[in-house]
Amino acid sequence: MRLRNVYHLSVKEFLHMIRDRRTLVFLLLMPTVLTVVFASAVGNSKVTGIKMRVVDLDHGKIAEEYLKDIGAAETFALEIKANATEADLTQAEEDLDRDKIKAIVVLPKDLTTNLMDGAGGEVKAIVDGSDTFAAPAVLRELGGVAVRHNMKLAAGFLLYEGIVKSEQQAKLRVAPVDLKIDVRYNPELKAQNFTMPGVIGLILQLLTVIVMATSIARERERGTFEQLSVTPLKGAEIFIGKLVPYFILSLIDTVNVMIVARVLFGVSLSGHYGVVTALVVVFVLGSLGIGQLISVVSKNQAQAVQLAIFYTMPVFVLSGAFAPLETLPGNVRPIAYLFPLTYFCRSFRAALLRQATFSDVGFDLLAMFAFAVLTFGLSVLLLRRQPTSR
């Protein structure tokens, strides 16, 4: 490999890049715009405003308190049917069928009286399980309400029966162990802090894979690859030469995206510069490598784009960019470790949120580096094996 040849190719590739203004603007803006979109839409893991109807058949005091409790949660957009009848319940079920509401809470007839008599009661929740985002949120919230409410009731009974003297004592009886929570690294549990590193990785990967995959395929399509092939250029020189301008572009995009993440979404980006840079560099190299591999096996640009999408799509869901790897079923999880984005997401997250050091992310760096070397070497081998330029 001669550096001089790499330089000539890079210059040429750079000229292509600035000649095609529209694509260049697109390549520079796309990551930033995507970051804004992803961070505002996907980054939001808190579900709010789920339509829920409370059918109050009880009309009593307990129901009133229950309602107050549920109403305080911002998860719900409540519709309260006070003084409801059986007809209202039927109506509510119909509305659930027609997707007008997502959940129904039924406070049964005589709930207050029954409880006062010392008998148990039952609050019924009907939830639309087809919405896998809303349903768990509803269940979680209602569960919390139920626990809190039961504690309040129990404390009330203890006081009422004279077993304890004060509310303070009652509380100690009912819930003697308190949970003291100390959230570190992301104390506000800001969802963007978790997703943003993943989003950055995702966008970087999308950009690099597609751009690189089409670069050689385009030359093949235009017939210029044949002209390259009759020059003394070596495969590795062609690859590295083509890679350099896109590598620089990716780094510029990374900086853009990080600035947007910081300024618009207040994502904390306080890692060690060295670690952050190393992670981005190695990850981008690996992604460019897979782009090259795609480029070598495709005959034209359309094929290259198809393959690029075929690669990036599954990685989207498998990498843990939006949801932690723990959400993947156990037998699928090992597949995730085949892709560099998986290593990047977790290590980049660690670097940005927890100021991880080189020794913390060493394994991830190594894995991504191995991937880069593998894809690069394979591309060169494959190219050498197919001197046919058509």
Partner 1 sequence: MADDVISTEALSRRFGTLEAVKNLTLTVKRGEIFGFLGPNGAGKTTTIKMLCGLIAPSDGKGTVVGYDIRTQRDEIKRATGYMAQHFSLYPDLTADENFRFFAGVYGIFGKEADQRLKELFERVDIMHKRKEQAGRLSGGLKQRLALACALVHKPQLVFLDEPTAGVDPAQRQKLWDLLYDLCQEGTSLFVTTHYLDEAERCHTVGFMLGGELIDKGAPHALRQTLRGKIIGVYSEQSVVAMRALKTLPQVSDVTIYGYELRVFMREASTPQAVEGALRRAAEKASVKIDRVYAVEPTLEDLFMAYERSSAATSAEAQAEAS
Q: Is 224 in the site for partner 1 (CB under 8 A)?
A: yes
Nearer Cβ to partner 1 (26/337) = 26
Among 120, 176, 187, 232, binds partner 1 (CB under 8 A): 232
Q: Is 181 in the site for partner 1 (CB under 8 A)?
A: no
Number of residues that bind partner 1 (CB under 8 A): 25
> What are the C-alpha distances in Å from 8 to residues 52, 123, 221, 235, 366?
65, 75, 21, 14, 30
Among 233, 248, 305, 382, binds partner 1 (CB under 8 A): 233
Spatial distance between the Cα atoms of 132 and 344, rounded to a whole number of angstroms: 28
Q: Is 4 in the site for partner 1 (CB under 8 A)?
A: yes
Spatial distance between the Cα atoms of 196 and 263, rounded to a whole number of angstroms: 13
Q: Is 22 in the site for partner 1 (CB under 8 A)?
A: no
Among 19, 22, 98, 184, binds partner 1 (CB under 8 A): 19
Q: Is 300 in the site for partner 1 (CB under 8 A)?
A: no
Q: What are phi and psi of 109, to 5 degrees?
A: -60, 140
Q: Is 48 in the site for partner 1 (CB under 8 A)?
A: no
Q: Is 11 in the site for partner 1 (CB under 8 A)?
A: yes
Q: Is 387 in the site for partner 1 (CB under 8 A)?
A: yes
Nearer Cβ to partner 1 (130/388) = 388
The string over 114-124, giving b where at least 16 C-beta atoms fall within 10 Å of a residue's C-beta and e elsewhere, is bbeeeeebebe
Site stretch for partner 1 (CB under 8 A), options 69-77, 99-107, 226-234, 279-287 = 226-234
Nearer Cβ to partner 1 (15/332) = 15
Cα end-to-end span (Å), the chain:
25
Residue closest to 231 by CA, chosen among 76, 2, 72: 2
Spatial distance between the Cα atoms of 325 and 342, rounded to a whole number of angstroms: 8
Least distance CB 233 / partner 1 (angstroms): 5
> What are the C-alpha distances in Å from 230 to residues 171, 178, 215, 243, 291?
85, 76, 18, 21, 23
Least distance CB 246 / partner 1 (angstroms): 16
Q: Is 272 in the site for partner 1 (CB under 8 A)?
A: no
The structure tokens listed for 351 are: 């670097």
Q: Applying CB under 8 A, which residues contact partner 1? A: 4-5, 7-9, 11-12, 15-16, 19-20, 222-224, 226-233, 387-389
